[in-house]
Structure 1
Amino acid sequence: MPSMSTIQIFSRLVKLVFPLTEFMICAILMGVAGFLCAIFIPVLSSMALVKDPTFSFHTIVILLFVCALLRGILRYAEQACNHYIAFKLLARIRDQVFGALRKLCPAKLEVKDKGSLISLITSDIELLEVFYAHTISPICIAFVTSFVCIIIQMQYGWIYGIYSLLAYVLVGIVLPIYISKQSRHIGIEYRKEAGNLNSYVLESMRGLKESMQYMDTDRRLSGLNHQTALLAKREKELKHFQAKTISLTNACVVLLSLGLCLIHVFLNSSMESMIVSSVLQISSFGPVIALANLGSTLSQTIGAGQRVISLLDEIPMVEEVRNGDEAQFNSMDMIHVDFAYDKEQILKDMNLNIQENEVIGIQGKSGSGKSTLLKLLMRFWDVSGGNILVDGIDIKNLNTSNLRKNEGYVTQETILFHDTIENNLRVAKQDATIEEIQLACKKANIHEYIQSSPNGYKTLVEELGSSLSGGERQRIGLARMFLHDSKLVLLDEPTSNLDSLNEGIILKSIYEERKNKTIIFVSHRESTLAHCNRVIHMESNRVS
């Protein structure tokens, strides 16, 4: 993941605010007015204390009441605008992240850390709320209120205005920059460790049966404790730095306020001027202190922002084609195809011709590139060398929608969503009628099982299909394939989890479907490949 500077991260995040500029301006104006009301409450009180002739006591009491009332109303309105902006933008960012993941699918996601992605989609994006709701408008508010207070201080003498300017710059600019630089790496490491812990927990939950079977639970628990300790260590560092930040900021505010009093004494100012000016100085630090504290609280946000932006900027291994060619999928040719992954040669100088109505079987040892070949035909990856042609058209020039429409792919692992069986089947064809769904399930020999369930096709499937056996999940995957009704059917060990009876019924259905289709099997079972027109053997990255 390439490193980005804090300014680069902030500038990218700020650009997203432009469509909501009017709400941001409204939040800033109400924030400025609200903070000025808060500042004037102690200032007016000090004026009453020293009997300043500017306002009568009666007028000051009325102004105090108005300022107190407006402070509450304006603060509420400012926060409402800020959080409206924040949650609108978080929704937009989530949409962009899912769009980026869609472009990266499926090639990049096969090597992506799933737990880290979950952490990014949930907690990392949620952390950006701090930036949008508690950073942009407070910065603008601090600048405007500081400017107003400097103007007021200059009424007592230009030197007081200059001193206030220097004090605001120190607390509101110098301190946050220093703190941000010191804590940035802690925030990035914290988000990284949070992602690692999520990955470890997700992995442990999925492999719980295996851990119990092989009595590996103690080691997994030890690993969980280790990951938790690493995250706790980073959090401790973060909290420690935040405490130091607050102490440093408060010390600066006290010393700078004391410094203003000393200047008044040195210049022989009147007691009234010194009290009112000093109270103004102390009370005006509110918005500026908020900026100083951002230096530490934003450290996690910077880390989260970098992770989100890096994902959005990631270049897909396969670009989606929208205005390309269309093909009928009557033939496919692999011509001198090479493919390497992470410098490991998977396929080398492969040549293969596939014609319509053929049923082709592929055999080979594990790691010989059988599944990779199917993924290249699906264009999950692009070839490193050579060409894959569909009806004489390079597969890279075909519309992605045309490719997905005409190709069906069934793997050993069928992913089911936490939804009804019917909706899980509709993944293959959104507008399918219930009759079409039932026919597809009959071909996959799963219809009777579904009908015997309490709610039939409306039966809810548990997360990842955990309520179903491996064979039942695989048959639902095959039913999806029948429902999709594509011209090129790619089957990677489609009957690996089935008994011989179910395998025979399903294979019969597949062979009956072969008219105007091309079917490619990857299997180790001789029974699966017995009725293929030809069987291809893959050895040493080649077709033999």
Structure 2
Amino acid sequence: MARMIGLVRPLAPHLALAVALGTAGSLAATFVAAFGAYGIMAAVGQGAGLSVAAACVLTVACGVLRGPLHYGEQLANHYIAFRLLALIRDHVFAALRRLAPAKLEGRDRGDLISLVTADIELLEVFYAHTISPITIAIASSAIMLAFIGAHSLPLAAIALAGYLVLGAIMPIASSKLCGNAGRASRDAAGSISAYVLDGLRGLAETVQFAGVSKRSAGLAAQTDAMGSTDRSLHVRSAAVEGLADAMVLLTSLAMIATSLGLYAAGDLSFSSAFICSFACLSSFGPVLAVCRLGTSLQATLASGARVLDLLDEEPQTVDVLDGADASFDGAACEHVTFSYGADSASGSGSSAAALSTDDRILDDVSIAFEPGEMVCVTGRSGSGKSTLLKLLMRFWDPTSGAVKMSGRDLRGVNTSSLRSSIGYMTQDTHLFVGTIGDNLRIAREDATDAELDSACEAAALSSLIARLPQGYDTPVAELGDSLSGGERQRIGLARIFLHDAPFVLLDEPTSNLDALNEAAVMRAIDRRRAGKTVVLVSHRASTCAFADRFYSVEHGRIS
């Protein structure tokens, strides 16, 4: 919670304004009853320093002012909340960028969507309805204690006991009573989002293999589990509400009984006893708001913990900002050993030595990629071919050994320089919602239509563009579902041609293409490889036929 509060520091003046307005508003609401009590005492001849007219004016003034003051407090609080939510979203997306792609592989996309939407939205409750209400409760309670204490210290002690129980003891106790239920609820919500997103993506397969009832049962089971957790939270919240109301009643009765006792003993005037009782009865609003936070805030704090967990997560590789800008003059892997479950090393073999042979995706791999050549890497699925390309991109660092570009270890090359020198195409081409032109220009934003035409021609995509009535302005559905797998793959290839990097990594670039389009694409790659180094990962002999050298990866070894 301390870190969440710390984010408010730049907006401290706005928070101070919200607290001032909120305190004034709560006191105005309280003194509507207090000044009414003054008026009643004046009307029955038990004047306590205010005339009936003055008491009426002050009562009306407090009644009128409480509305604008409350509005001003809420306006300031929500300004703080929405400014901070924008800042937190910026931090979260920066964290996602920092963690991608290595730390995000295998993460549930639905859970991430839930985190960046619902979890961040829930933080609005904390920033708009938690920080200032606690401060307001402290300030207004202190002022009311001073007011009541000016009439009678025993009555002030009773009010203090009520404020402490409602504003401190009960919220802390109810928070401990809830335990980890709030976190369990938010985790369950993330799991449901992931399950629903997975189901939507695989809807065709679910229908095809008659799995609708099974998926529905799975969703119902997860929903019931989350509902059970939420019900327990609501039951505890209702219990706390009941106890709080009972505490208000007990404090009020104690205040009235003590006031009457002090009056009977001659230690307190009737007017003071009456006014203090009225003032105390109407002063519980701010502490009751804090009392409810013990249970209502659980989901919000759990959301905050999930967001902070993401912000605190360390990336697999840290971007290099103070290294060298290396122009491409060949690349090499030198005695590279790698396992996804091991920490990277800085050239030492200690980490690699601790790995069993079965854990090693790549084992003592040495390979050079010379300028101007095309190298093909083959091997069975899972043998480490794609992993080799990810190491060249420095998505991961090797467990031992070194990956180099232009003779320099990638850990000493500026990340932006490295990525601008490489064109990398994965097995799955992701298309964003937008137009075909938008998706192509991801590779180069300032590309002209003529350059798009050239890249599309090389990727055997020109005929598709020509058939579309809107050409490059044709909309693309979410995840590219309006296009076939081969068409999506050719768009990915066109991006590589458009990027025009000197080092090109192609992971199964023709796996979804027919023989005719494969031949056209490979001829285009062959024509455009002058001055470039191309690394192909492929199972197809026809694709590998264009390569200058062939390597086979088996059991982490390369030959």
State whether residues 334 and 352 of structure 1, in contact with CA within 8 Å, keep that contact through their aligned partners in structure 2. Answer: yes
CA distance in 2: counterparts of 1:243 and 1:53, whole angstroms = 41
**CA-to-aligned-CA distance 1:56-94 (integer Å, 9 cap, x gap):** 111122112211111111111110010010000000000
Match of 1:310 in 2: 309
In the alignment, which residue of structure 2 is the partner of 1:7?
none
Other-structure match for 1:6: none
Counterpart of 2:330?
331
Deviation digits for residues 310-342 of structure 1 (CA, Å, limit 9, x no counterpart): 100111110001121122221111111111112
Superposition deviation, residue 237 in structure 1: 1.3
Q: Is 1:208–2:203 an aligned residue pair?
A: yes
2:342 paired with 1:351? no
Distance 1:310 1:26 in 2: 31
Give the letter aligned to residue 72 of structure 2: A
Determine the structure 2 residue equivalent to 1:140: 135
Query: Among residues 122, 126, 133, which one is paired with 1:131 in the alignment?
Result: 126
Match of 2:271 in 1: 272
Give the Å deviation of 1:473: 0.6
1:289 partnered with 2:288: yes
Mapped contact 2:320–2:412 kept (Cα < 8 A) = yes
**Residue 5 of structure 1 aligns with which residue?**
none
Aligned to 2:443: 428
Amino acid aligned to 1:28 = V
Corresponding residue number in structure 1 for 2:475: 460
Is the Cα contact below 8 Å between 1:184 and 1:303 reproduced in 2?
no
* Partner Cα separation in structure 2 for residue 135 and residue 239 of structure 1: 19
Amino acid at match of 2:138: F
1:521 to 533, 536, 544: 536
Show the counterpart of 1:78.
73
Q: Secondary structure in 1 aligned to 2:377?
A: strand
Instruction: Summarize deviations over 1:42-64 as a string: whole Å, max 9, x none.
Output: 11112222323421111122112
Return the letter of the residue paired with 1:23.
H
Q: In the TM superposition, what are the counterparts of 1:125-524 in structure 2 within 5 Å? A: 125-267=120-262, 268=264, 269-342=268-341, 344-524=359-539
| Partner Cα distance (1:452, 1:322) in 2 | 45
Aligned length: 535
1:447 CA drift (Å): 2.3
Pairwise CA distance, 1:355: 0.3
Q: Distance in 2 between the 1:470 and 1:221 partners?
A: 29
Which residue in the other structure is 2:41 paired with?
50
Instruction: Work out whether residues 453 and 462 of structure 2, in 8 Å CA contact, stay in contact via their aligned partners in 1.
Output: yes
- For 1:12, give the aligned amino acid: R
Instruction: State the secondary structure of the residue aligned to 1:387.
Output: strand
Q: Which amino acid aligns with 1:338?
A: T
Match of 1:27 in 2: 18
Report how far residue 163 of structure 1 moved. Answer: 2.3
Q: Is the 8 A contact 1:184 1:300 kept in 2?
A: no
Cα offset, 1:477, TM superposition = 0.5
- Paired amino acid for 2:35: L
Maintained 8 Å contact 2:325/2:413: yes
Which has the larger displacement, 315-324 or 54-63? Answer: 54-63
CA distance change for structure 1 residues 184 and 95 in 2, over 3 Å: closer, same or farther? farther
Match of 1:36 among 27, 38, 50: 27
Q: Which amino acid aligns with 1:311?
A: L
Residues 1:11 and 2:2 are matched in the alignment: yes
Equivalent pair of 1:330/1:355 in contact (CA under 8 Å):
yes
d(CA) in 1 for partners of 2:153, 2:272: 14
Which SS does the other structure have where 1:536 is aligned?
Answer: strand
Amino acid at match of 2:505: L
Distance 2:450 2:61 in 1: 70
CA distance in 1, matches of 2:161, 2:48: 30
Equivalents in 2 of 1:255, 1:196: separation in Å? 44
1:184 CA drift (Å): 4.0
Report the Cα distance in structure 2 between the residues aligned to 1:217 and 1:26, rounded to whole angstroms.
55
| Secondary structure at the counterpart of residue 155 of structure 1 | helix
1:127-152 per-position Cα deviation (integer Å, ceiling 9, x unaligned): 00001000111111111100110011
Percent of pairs with identical residues: 45
SS in 2 for 1:50: helix
**Cα distance in 1, alignment partners of residues 26 and 457 from structure 2:** 70
CA contact (8 A) 1:451 1:457 kept: no
* Offset, 1:265: 2.7
Q: Which runs of 5+ in 1 are unaligned?
A: 1-9
Instruction: Give 1:432 shift.
Output: 1.4
Query: 1:435 deviation in Å?
Result: 1.5
Match of 2:110 among 102, 109, 115: 115
Scaled by the length of structure 2, what TM-score is found? 0.94
Deviations 1:263-287 (A, max 9, x none): 2233234433222111111111110
Structure 1 residue 459, shift from structure 2 partner: 1.2
- Looking at structure 2, the residues matched to 162 and 271 of structure 1 have their Cα atoms a distance apart, in angstroms, of 19
Alignment gaps of 5+ in structure 2: 343-358
TM-score by length of 1: 0.97
Deviation, structure 1 residue 454: 2.3
Match of 1:531 in 2: 546
1:324-373 Cα distance to aligned partner (Å, 9 max, x none): 11222211111111111126321111111110111011110111000101
2-structure distance, mates of 1:63, 1:147: 21
